[in-house]
Amino acid sequence: MILKFILSRAFTGLFVVLVVVTITFFLLRMLPGGPFDEEKELPDQIRQNIEAKYNLDQPAWKQYVLYLKGLSKGDFGPSYKYVDRSVNDIIRETLPVSVELGLIGLFISIALGSIVGIVSAIKPRGLFDFFAVSTATALVSVPSFVIGAVLIYFFSVKFRIFPAALWGSPSHVVLPALTLAAGPAAYLARLIRASMLETSEALFVRTARAKGLSNFVVITKHILRNALIPVVTVIGPITAFLITGSFVVEHIFAIPGIGRFFVLAVSNRDYPLVMGITIVYTIILVLANLVVDILYVYLDPRIKFDKDGI
């Protein structure tokens, strides 16, 4: 059953990727400007030769067909702005950096958000709960570039504990990882707290307490396990967002990740690079959601795999 479910989700994921590819491909060509529009206009002959090289002289539908043919072979095409470098090369070089940063940020956000959320739910309306909820609300509301700037000012400029930018050593990871994890950690803390408080009022929890079970068993086995179901739902998109890297965070800390190249690709109208990074992001999101769907079964015994999925 689980194999059928995975195959079903795989076909659905392929359809999602195809839809994203189609929409992104034609939207890029609807944007004003082009990949070879410069302040100084190119001679007509040179422009025609460049457009012919990249098939930009063909109708949009034909460009789309040619792109799908290359994509079916795993070829994202050449970059328009980075000479002698393909999109595959750029993604191969930059994605590991974003994945490393994203996984560290994911671990921090889940660990910190879970600890704060659980403690706040166990002792609601206390001093810690008030401080935690207030801090979480502030972190969710504050943009990541503000958090990054504050961390750089205190830990790099004022106290000189961590480097302010670049990538290479473990000390370079600390500030961007904390900046990346702050928002998701605050959101998870609030979600876990609210979910646990709601679950603690359920009838099966009251029954467990009436049976004389210890508070630790009630919290871990009955409340927390059931409260994690809505939390797992948001883990998928959060994982995809963190692994692919935050564009703003990578730009602030001058990290050579995939997000930084994406920003430059959009401004440069580098169509193949934008397409390649978008496809990678979509695939990661689809895979993360697949893992979340499988985890549902193990968290909630009422959910079972059947012939149609979950």
Query: Using a CB cutoff of 8 Å and minimum separation of 24, what contacts does 304-310 make?
Result: 305/1, 305/2, 305/4, 305/5, 306/1, 307/1, 307/4, 309/5, 309/8, 309/9, 310/5
Tens digit of each residue's pLDDT (9 = 90 or more) over 157-170: 999 899 988 888 88
Quickly state the pLDDT bin for 297 (edges 50, 70, 90). Answer: low
**Three-state SS string across the chain, please?**
CHHHHHHHHHHHHHHHHHHHHHHHHHHHHHCCCCCCCCCCCCCHHHHHHHHHHCCCCCCHHHHHHHHHHHHHCCCCCECCCCCCCEHHHHHHHHHHHHHHHHHHHHHHHHHHHHHHHHHHHHCCCCHHHHHHHHHHHHHHHCCHHHHHHHHHHHHHHHCCCCCCCCCCCHHHHHHHHHHHHHHHHHHHHHHHHHHHHHHCCCHHHHHHHHCCCCHHHHHHHHHHHHHHHHHHHHHHHHHHHHHCCCHHHHHHCCCCCHHHHHHHHHHHCCHHHHHHHHHHHHHHHHHHHHHHHHHHHHHCCCCCCECCEC
C-alpha 145 chain-centroid distance: 17
Hey, what CATH class is 1-310 in?
Answer: mainly alpha
pLDDT on residue 305: 54
- State yes or no: pLDDT of 111 exceeds 70: yes
Quickly state the pLDDT bin for 306 (edges 50, 70, 90). Answer: low
CB 255 within 8 A of CB 101: yes
The pTM of this model reads: 0.80
Quickly state the pLDDT bin for 236 (edges 50, 70, 90). Answer: confident
Task: Provide the residue ranges of all domains of the chain, joining segments of one domain with +.
Answer: 1-310
Tens digit of each residue's pLDDT (9 = 90 or more) over 115-152: 999 999 888 888 898 999 898 888 888 888 899 999 99
pLDDT on residue 66: 93
pLDDT on residue 19: 95
